[in-house]
């Protein structure tokens, strides 16, 4: 299905109105998912504290929430945003490319993720529970794995056109990285792509390389999504076709 696009410049007020509309279309889950995921991490830390866990263990749990729980939640929410629109056939007939529409909705999720992660990191740091790298580098704890896992989730959702396939693959990968952590960080060829280096290994030698590798490969995955969306019919399920 071919789709043509005519770019019509929007005035600032119209642009704000468009973003508000897409935020409503994205739904409350896109905004609530990132803070909810971090709230789960705080709850886990509170339970661990009540159970007699040491200060370091509690701090590591809070760090895990930022590096592991948040990316998984964001990836699952991204798949939902790609798959939930029931009017894709109509969208593909409009002058504006659907990729831009989808990009704005994913942008709402990205903004909620960034704000939640920054507030969470600041809160953990101010209260003295931060066990990660220098606070100035705190974004490297959550941004690379979130970008990588989120981009992979969207790519699988577009290629497979199936929520179940995409979410199952992402959850399976996430679980394997948790269970096989010692194996994955023990090999030179898998260590740079391990998602949870900060909370599982620490910020020693190779940490920055790991973060940069995840960022670059995450951008490549996002670029692959952008290329695929130049063929918008890939978004249609078999029933919609």
* Residue with tokens 């263990």, as numbered in its chain: 57
| pLDDT computed for residue 205 by the predictor | 86
45 vs 57, 77, 146, 198, CA distance in Å?
8, 24, 21, 17
Distance CA 143, CA 85 (A): 27
Q: CA nearest 78: which of 43, 122, 18, 37?
A: 37
Distance CA 123, CA 16 (A): 30
Query: In this predicted model, what pLDDT tens digit does every residue of 133-155 receive, in sequence order?
Result: 998 999 999 999 999 999 999 99
| pLDDT computed for residue 97 by the predictor | 61
Q: Are 199 and 64 in contact (CB under 8 A)?
A: yes
Q: Are 41 and 129 in contact (CB under 8 A)?
A: no
167 vs 30, 111, 160, 174, 186, CA distance in Å?
16, 22, 11, 10, 27
| pLDDT computed for residue 168 by the predictor | 94
Query: In this predicted model, what pLDDT tens digit does every residue of 165-208 receive, in sequence order?
Result: 899 999 999 999 999 999 999 888 999 999 999 999 988 889 99
Query: In this predicted model, what pLDDT tens digit does every residue of 43-93 receive, in sequence order?
Result: 999 999 999 889 999 999 999 999 999 999 999 999 988 876 554 444 544
- Tokens at residue 73, please? 């939640």
């Amino acid at each position: 299905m071919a789709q043509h696009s005519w770019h019509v410049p929007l005035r600032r007020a119209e642009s704000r109105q468009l973003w508000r509309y897409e935020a409503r279309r994205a739904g409350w889950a896109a905004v609530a998912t990132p803070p909810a995921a971090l709230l789960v991490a705080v709850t886990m830390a509170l339970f661990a504290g009540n159970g007699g866990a040491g200060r370091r263990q509690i701090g590591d749990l809070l760090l895990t929430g930022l590096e592991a729980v948040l990316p998984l939640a964001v990836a699952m929410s991204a798949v939902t945003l790609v798959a939930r629109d029931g009017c894709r056939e109509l969208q593909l007939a409009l002058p504006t490319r659907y990729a831009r529409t989808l990009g704005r909705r994913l942008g709402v999720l990205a903004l909620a993720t960034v704000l939640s992660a920054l507030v969470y990191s600041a809160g953990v740091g101010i209260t003295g529970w931060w066990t990660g790298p220098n606070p100035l580098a705190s974004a490297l704890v959550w941004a690379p794995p979130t970008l990588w896992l989120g981009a992979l989730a969207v790519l699988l959702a577009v290629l497979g056109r199936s929520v179940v396939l995409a979410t199952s693959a992402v959850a399976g990968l996430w679980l394997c990285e948790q269970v096989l952590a010692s194996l994955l960080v023990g090999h030179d060829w898998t260590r740079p792509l391990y998602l949870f280096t900060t909370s599982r290994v620490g910020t020693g030698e190779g940490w920055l390389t790991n973060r940069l590798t995840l960022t670059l490969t995450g951008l490549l995955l996002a670029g692959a999504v952008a290329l695929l969306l130049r063929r918008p019919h890939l978004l249609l399920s078999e029933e919609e076709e």
